[in-house]
Amino acid sequence: MQALVLEQKGKLALREIDLPLNVGPGDVKIEIDTVGVCGSDVHYYTHGAIGPYVLREPMVLGHEAAGIVVEIGAEVKNLKVGDRVCMEPGIPNLSSRASKLGLYNVDPDVRFWATPPIHGVLAPYTVHPAAFTYKLPDNVSFEEGAMVEPFAIGMQAATRARLQPGDVAAVIGAGPIGIMVALAALAGGCARVFISDLSADKLKIAAQYPGIIPVNIREKAFADVIAEETPGWGADVVFEASGSPKAYQGMFDLVRPGGAFVLVGLPVEPVPFDVASAISKEVRIETVFRYANIFDRALELIASGKVDLKPLITGTFDFSQSIAAFERAAAGHASDVKLQIKLKP
C-alpha cells in the first residue's frame, strides 16, 4: 500500500511499500483516518536520528493516529468493527519486568511507531494490539483522537508532578508539548500556569486558554515574574518543556522550597545541573518519557469538555500532500502548533 516513507535523512517519498497486516488473536486492523505530524517525525526527516535511534533503512513516519476498526482478532473483547479509535504508538513486551511494574513506557523492548526500525502509520491501514487501542467517545473527533498522543505526554508530566489542587505551575517553553503540559497542569488542579517563551506567536496561542499566563522572556526574566506573582516563594511545580540547555541556567530560582521540577524536554546535548541549588531547596526532580496508563484518562478529559485541543490543530493536509505537510512543519512557523494529515477525504 501507499505510505509516507522516509527513505533517508532529508528524503521523503509517498510510495508503495509492503507492510505486514496479519491480524493476530489480540489485534485489530485499523483504517487510518488522521495522523498528526510530530516534532520527532520532523527531526528524523531533517536529522536522520534522535539520540541513539538512527534511521538505517526506509521507514514509514507517523505515530499520532486515529482511525476506524475494520477487523478484529478472535480474542478481542474491548472493540468491534466500526469503532472509532486512537492508538497508543508504543507496544511493550507485556511480560517484561518494566511492564509488570506498570512502567511499560520504559520497557527496553518497547516497539514504538516511527522510531527506527519500527514503521509508523502514515499509510491507509495498520494492525495494532487491541490492548493499546482506545475507543473514541462519540463527541471526540478523529482529529482530536490524533491529538491524544501528544496530550498524553502533558498528562504524564502532570501525573509525575503529583499536583495538588491550587498549585501554581511554571512551564518553560510554549511549543506544542509545553502547551500540552500547561493544559494537563490546569486539568490536574493548578490554579495558575505561567508559560514562558521567546516567541510572541507561541505565547498568544497558549494564552487563549483561561488560566494560562504568558511570559515573554525577551521582555522579562521568567524567575522575576514567578517571584513577583508568588511573593518570593516560587512555583509549586516547574515543568521544563523547551529542551533548551539555556533553560537549565538558574532553573531552581523558579521553584519553591520543597517543590517539584519535572523534566519533559529532551536537550540535544548534556546540560550542567546546579545540584547545590536543588539540594538547598530539597527540590523533587521527576523525568517524563512518553506515558503509561494515560490514554483512557486523556480521552475522559477531552470528552468532558474540560480540555479542548481543537484550537491547537492549525493546519490540515490531504495524504497526497504529506510531503508538503512535512516541509511546512520543518520550516518551523511559530504559529503552527499541530499539523495533521487526513488519510481519508
Q: Which residues bind Zn ion (CB under 5 A)?
A: 38, 64
Cell numbers at 13, concatenated: 517519498
Cα angle: 41, vertex 17, 123; to 5 degrees = 50
> How near is the Cβ of 38 to Zn ion at its closest, in Å?
3
Between 90 and 234, CB nearer to Zn ion: 90
Closest separation in Å from C-beta 154 to Zn ion: 11
Nearest to 297 by CA among 286, 309, 312, 307: 307
Output 32 or 190, the one with its CB closest to Zn ion.
32
Q: How far is the CB of 89 from Zn ion (least distance, A)?
A: 8
Q: How far apart are CA 301 and CA 335, in angstroms?
A: 25
Minimum CB distance to Zn ion smaller for 64 or for 107 = 64
Nearer to Zn ion, 133 or 222 (CB): 133
CB of residue 248 vs Zn ion: minimum separation in angstroms? Answer: 23
CA distance 175 to 25: 40
Q: For Zn ion, which is the closer residue by CB, 141 or 340?
A: 340
Tell me whether residue 179 or residue 223 sits nearer to Zn ion (CB atom): 179
- The residue whose grid cell reads 517519498 is 13
At closest approach, how far in Å is the CB of 109 from Zn ion? 20
CA distance 15 to 9: 16
Work out whether strand 2-8 and strand 11-16 pair parallel, antiparallel, or are unpaired. Answer: antiparallel
3-state secondary structure of 14: strand
Nearest by Cα to 6 from 314, 267, 329, 333:
329
Contact 131, 28 (CB under 8 A): no
Q: In this structure, what DSSP letter does residue 132 have?
A: G
Least gap, CB of 226 to Zn ion (angstroms)? 29
Whose Cβ is closer to Zn ion: residue 35's or residue 235's?
Answer: 35
Contact 44, 3 (CB under 8 A): no
Q: How far is the CB of 274 from Zn ion (least distance, A)?
A: 30
Closest CB to Zn ion among residues 40, 196: 40
Q: How far apart are CA 193 and CA 239, in angstroms?
A: 10
CB of 290 to Zn ion, least distance (A): 9
**Phi-psi category of 99—alpha, beta or left, where left has phi over 0 and alpha has psi -120 to 50?**
alpha
How many CA atoms lie within 13 Å of 70's alpha carbon, on the beta-carbon side? 13
Collect all residues with Cβ–Cβ distance below 8 Å to 55 and sequence separation of at least 6.
6, 8, 9, 44, 48, 49, 116
Whole-angstrom Cα distance, residue 52 to residue 244?
Answer: 19
Residue nearest to Zn ion (CB): 38
**Closer of 43 and 135 to Zn ion (Cβ):** 43
* Min CB(4)–Zn ion separation in Å: 15
